[in-house]
Amino acid sequence: MAEGPRGPRAPREGVLTSLRRAREAATAWEVESARLVVNWVTGHRVDDARTEAYVGHVIDVDEPVVRPALAGMQAPMRLAGPGAPLVWDLAFCELAATLAMSPDAARGYVGEVTELAFRLPRLWERVLAGQVRLWRARDVARSTRIVPADGAAWLDSQLASVIGSCSGAQVQRAVDAALDRFDPEAAEARRRDAAEHLRFDIHLGDGGDLPGSRSTTTVEGELDTADAIDLDAAVSASAAQLRACGSAESLDARRARAVGEIARRELTLPIPAGADETDGHTSEHPSSYPSAAGRRVQLIVHLSAEALGATFAGRGDAAVGRCENTRSPVTAEQIRSWCGTPGTRVLVRPVVDIAGHSPTESYEIPTSLREQVITRDPQCVFPSCTRQARRCDLDHIVPFEDGGATCGCNLAPLCRRHHRAKTHDSWAYVMVTPGTYLWTSPSGDQLLVDGRGTFGVPVRGQPCSHTVHRDRPDPPSWPRARSGADSRERAHPSLNTLLAQATDASVEAARGRAEAIPTAADPPPF
């Protein structure tokens, strides 16, 4: 039995294999159950002709059901968004009982499955094929009910192939973008409603005034996105200043104290003319205040040539950008509002060529190269990780001391936890193509990571399995260059070479790391 950094490793055909098979059986069962539910909905759908007679009396799945709209009669029940079939509410009771669910739980579950099958068919096909877990697809369906039919079709085309790499927040941003494109009136109404709920509360009454009372106060609120970005930047900068001045407190504590520092600095500003002496609030006279750094909102907008032409033509469906600070969609009107605020500085940066090669001879990574890598890979490339690349380390896939180039084709973002796993444990990976990575786990399992998500890799010549072929020949070594003209060839093998070597090289690297761990000193994480 092989030794690992935490003791003997279990046999590969042991507990992990049994657990994997049990998980696969459970997944197959839940997919089959969902498929049967879709069959039931198809067999019990209400004819369109009969639906017209119940206009105004349709039960909505998102609303609590007290009794049918027409006393003593069954009524149509809407389970999903526009375009999905309706079913009779009384017949649904039997389905809920068969599922052993409460009526509310059954309406939620069946509604999400119905949304998938009838409004998100591409995603549904991936669920049936075992490529997407049902729970993840249901999360998407739960968010798309409010989108019109054409918006749901657009979301299906956008999300089906990449859902494996999408977080719940990313899905919600896609839904917001769909509303902006296909139902702008509803989207604007939602924004107006959100503006009505902006608030900033300081719960001074919760701190107490008796001896021994806690000396802290809870602060919470909901701000405009641009204001929240400005506040976060100011708090972060002030927290860094506190540390530079010798504060040994944690980052959270320094950020909390920074809010007080910002407030005290604000109180020292001159009071502009027109101040309201009754409540202490001042009127808005921006010119009366000292000049500040101004608003800095970084906006990255991806537009095709067709979309750019549509924007110039005035069509609103293309006038949607993305704010990188929050990774959320923003309309052109929001962009104009933010950038038009007095004191705002607008900086236009050139487009980053994510396919270009810009190697440097030094280990340090220049800003332009970092931008290239995190634009290509917006999140950590470790299997199933979704941490933002801007908060990650950039890892030399082939170590610099082994001849690896400081170039986009040899750099990938890894969050600190997974950077440590790659450096100090027996995880190993190679870049198959820019943006596509083959990982080998300490137990020999292989996973392929790309922009669509994480996928298991079957062993060549065998049925789909997660065990490693033990009779493979030794892989060829990676190209290594030390100096001179050869440095231009640092870690730049051809695509065919990469494809041929990727699997074997990844396995061999993992084995080498596992053998070296018990005796080697901990190297730095790069």
- pLDDT tens for the 526 residues of the chain, in order: 555 555 555 555 588 888 888 988 998 999 999 999 999 999 988 876 555 555 445 566 555 444 444 445 677 888 898 889 998 877 887 888 788 888 788 889 999 999 999 999 999 999 999 889 999 999 999 989 889 999 999 999 988 888 877 878 888 888 888 888 888 887 777 777 777 788 888 877 665 444 444 567 888 888 887 788 888 888 999 999 999 999 899 999 999 989 988 887 765 555 555 544 444 444 344 444 444 455 554 555 554 444 445 544 444 444 556 666 556 666 666 666 666 666 666 666 665 666 677 778 888 888 888 988 988 898 899 988 888 888 899 999 998 888 888 988 899 999 888 888 888 877 899 999 889 999 988 878 888 998 878 888 776 655 443 333 323 333 333 333 333 333 334 444 444 444 444 545 544 554 454 444 343 333 333 3
- Residue 478: the pLDDT is 34
Tokens linked to 253? 């504590």
| C-alpha to C-alpha distances, 73 to 88, 89, 104, 278, 487, nearest whole angstrom | 10, 10, 20, 62, 81
Q: Of 464, 460, 431, 462, which Cα lies nearest the Cα of 448?
A: 431
Q: How far apart are the first and last CA of the chain?
A: 30
Q: Of 483, 499, 466, which Cα lies nearest the Cα of 14?
A: 466
The string of DSSP letters for 358-384 reads --BSSSSPPHHHHHHHHHH--B--STT
- Residue 290: the pLDDT is 40
CB 367 within 8 A of CB 361: no
- Residue 140: the pLDDT is 92
| C-alpha to C-alpha distances, 346 to 332, 367, 508, nearest whole angstrom | 15, 19, 49
CB 477 within 8 A of CB 491: no
- Residue 267: the pLDDT is 59
**Which residues, including other chains, have CB under 8 Å from residue 505's CB and lie 6 or more apart?**
430, 475, 478
Look up tokens 């093998």; give the residue: 493
CB 54 within 8 A of CB 60: no
pTM above 0.85, yes or no: no
Query: Measured between alpha carbons, how far is 448 from 210 in angstroms, rounded to an integer?
Result: 59
What SS3 state is found at 138?
Answer: helix
Query: Measured between alpha carbons, how far is 58 from 34 in angstroms, rounded to an integer?
Result: 24
* Cα-trace Rg, the chain: 28
- Residue 307: the pLDDT is 46
Secondary structure E strands in 403-514:
411-414, 428-433, 436-440, 446-450, 453-456
Tokens linked to 387? 């941490």
- Residue 101: the pLDDT is 80
One-letter amino acid of 509:
A
- Residue 270: the pLDDT is 57
One-letter amino acid of 211:
P
Query: Measured between alpha carbons, how far is 114 from 61 in angstroms, rounded to an integer?
Result: 12
Tokens linked to 252? 């959270």
